[in-house]
Structure 1
């Protein structure tokens, strides 16, 4: 199948809810839409995409009943910009959601950045057509802009009638027991800096106590704050990451803080079930996005999945997520929604190949034959994601690898894939062009892997000196060489023509991108105290449990 990116699929979904589907005999009901989004799931992590050691019977069955996308490209290799593209059908760079620095995702729940309120989302489109909409699970696209409870980035301000889940993301700090406070342990390289700055502040304090004439109270306070407070604040933020960011929201209300991950997947399934029951009663068409926390760390699979997989806790997470997918599909069957529901399963980006657990065990995904992983925007391992679509009566089962160029899985969708950029990661890094049966991919830059690996420590960057620039660029035919192991000779006349065509397309795209304020500037990324949620109003002693699930605690 020719490349079809997440953005193109979103455009198809927008059309699906905008137009009424007509058959030769009758006017059909508006189709329901169920989007299932995994977090950091690698291309090779599920059975139907080549894994024969992790059991994913429900996802595999979905593939048997629908179409399997073998070349579906995420809009970015990390969560926040990728999810923005999935919701809007637009390149993240067009509205300030494609960062140009090291930090490429929302880091704090109390920061000001997020999906711009003026972006038109799939949820808003669906609501205009009379759909009932809900997003359950991970959001990671911001909450507030300027004041607490302005909720400018919140799902309910972006087209959804109901929201339940983590507004940020799942982090290892949210784990229980010995794995708590993983971030501050991971920042051990800064320990000396913190201790030195605190020590300098202590020296000034000692000088003040010794009544040194040249240091008065004002100078003392200034110097002590200058050297001590930033490090103390830094230490406090990361030492309490679980408290600051581990919040659960139901609509606009914070109902749990910090989050208890035990049984959380079952909670999300229950929330999805309740939404579907309401639609079964009122008969309204629905758009439901189930956005799992898995398989992003922290690992939190519970009985009966814990310890079941051959691949440790990461495999357990995949198998529990597969169970949750099966539960949602079972609910569609029980409520007789299946025949009129478009189901779309995908991951926000590729598997995180560098993810290592607290005890040195590997807790990241497998991207099959594709090189690289999460965070590596130029490598298919970071952006080619396992994707499945099912729509009974419309999608012919098993048709995924042989769809003609202009045959699509959604009626009324007739865009020519060849006219749309198939790679929507930053085009300064990579671009792709389809010529006949071949798919050529150019690398303008690539990650600087650690010697002997295809990773970069914790995660690879996508800018500046932490990537390697290529002049001339690297050229691969990924239709014949999907693993990108065989570099083509760019001096051959045919290949020079291909590179010139790609340069033309890149320049054309760049000229179409208007300047937009970045959502990833430092002032928007920093935590703002006045935007910090505290469910009981006694920060830093915030603590509450979701009353709907009190029996679980």
Structure 2
């Protein structure tokens, strides 16, 4: 019995040694072109640019959806929006286990301490503080409601099931800036869990509207932008920002600064070489709260933005960093999506493999090994704005618009390799390709269980 105990202990020790820490950082509404390493020329993002120089940058990575809640659902569940329960924003949240099993649950079962700090991806307009721990997170701090997360000076945030109140905050002003509280919590969490293994999902609120930045960060951009200050106006929901360009730039740079703090913390603790860090955005660039996509060319050469299924709505920046494991200065055009994160991190964590995933593990491409599996297709759907569907297979992408109108829906076909800006609709030239992809759409999705997200089938 004594020897059996020693063998079992050694086995557990060896497994733990093969389980690196994992941090997945998700920005909110950050456009494909908002970072310097993706072509941004005005807004300064030195830490993320350096992270890309020291790691691997993806040029064809796609979000789960074109708005927050369904995109995050795809991320956590390893499924595309033709299979998930939460397919849109609204008064919905993930169902309790064993339904809607998240990959953090699998990591927890494999011995990881798991945390979600920032904006919860388990629902949308919900204030259910019990949900994060019920869905596999040992620790939670932040917003459960996406509506509440529009405001940077909230009356309260959640720490697990306990409200942390900020009595001097009034949604748009106050003495507790939520993004400061979130990064403080994340750094403290890493300190507590430095012995590992831990998984931290750092879901940043920035740069989603309302537009709010600290004065010290706005001051950096005033002499650069020379923006005319707008007269005061009221706004029914988002705050009115008199310096929208200055403030947006400040928010993105402040977000970058926080990523720098996190990477520096890992180096100070001596755990950087045992920590995989990934960074992405939940969808394309927004036009809310006074921000305009054209202000900084936030989507680069891509068409559209948030709420579109054009590339600008769903193609997002993605950087992977793991000193000593991921080769520095890497660049890949491998076709990947949010539903790849679950199988990837399960494999890295030595956790239970997911049987029903729509994703493929990215471990070979991350570690520079042979044998990277490729997607046969990528699929998205969005129930608002008349109903939209899109599917990409190889270089071809089919977009269906106004699908809720029945036979009057619009058909658009693009060759993404030749026309990344989606300017030439080739549907009439290649009707056989349109029909092939329409048949594939019907094959790869199931009708939504939630009436609010149903499309015409």
Q: Deviations over 1:49-74 (max 9, x none)?
A: 00011100001011111111111111
Distance 1:514 1:489 in 2: 25
Alignment of 1:161-176 (within 5 A): 161-169=138-146, 174=151
Q: Deviations over 1:434-487 (max 9, x none)?
A: 1xxxx11112227xxxxxxxxxxxxxxxx64699822xx322111121111123
Greater mean alpha carbon deviation, residues 252-261 or residues 69-78: 252-261
Equivalent residue for 2:70? 81
Equivalent residue for 2:19? 30
Instruction: Please give the TM-score of this superposition, normalised by the length of structure 2.
Output: 0.74
Equivalent residue for 2:136? 159
Which of 399, 422, 425 lines up with 1:443 in the alignment?
399
- Paired residues, what number? 383
Equivalent residue for 1:477? 415
Equivalent residue for 2:178? 264
Equivalent residue for 1:336? 270
Which of 153, 165, 190 lines up with 1:276 in the alignment?
190
Report if aligned partners of 1:68, 1:387 keep a CA contact under 8 Å in 2.
yes
Alignment of 1:104-503 (within 5 A): 104-106=88-90, 113-117=92-96, 118-142=99-123, 151=129, 154-169=131-146, 174=151, 247-256=156-165, 260=174, 262-280=176-194, 283-309=195-221, 310=225, 311-353=245-287, 355-356=289-290, 366-376=298-308, 378-401=309-332, 407-409=364-366, 416-419=373-376, 421-426=377-382, 429-434=389-394, 439-445=395-401, 464=404, 469-470=409-410, 473-488=411-426, 490-491=428-429, 495-503=430-438
Equivalent residue for 1:57? 46
Report if aligned partners of 1:38, 1:346 keep a CA contact under 8 Å in 2.
yes
Distance 1:362 1:403 in 2: 27
Report if aligned partners of 2:70, 2:86 keep a CA contact under 8 Å in 1.
yes
Distance 1:349 1:274 in 2: 28
Report if aligned partners of 1:352, 1:364 keep a CA contact under 8 Å in 2.
no
Which of 13, 25, 31 lines up with 1:42 in the alignment?
31
- Relative distance call for 1:320 and 1:468 in structure 2 (3 A) is farther
Alignment gaps of 5+ in structure 2: 1-11, 226-244, 337-361
Report if aligned partners of 2:283, 2:313 keep a CA contact under 8 Å in 1.
yes
- Relative distance call for 1:172 and 1:325 in structure 2 (3 A) is closer
Report if aligned partners of 2:25, 2:279 keep a CA contact under 8 Å in 1.
yes
* Structure number with higher strand proportion: 2
Report if aligned partners of 1:37, 1:290 keep a CA contact under 8 Å in 2.
yes
Report if aligned partners of 1:39, 1:296 keep a CA contact under 8 Å in 2.
yes
Q: Secondary structure at the match of 1:94?
A: coil
Distance 1:256 1:467 in 2: 52
Which has the greater radius of gyration? 1
Q: Secondary structure at the match of 1:352?
A: coil
- Relative distance call for 1:410 and 1:114 in structure 2 (3 A) is farther
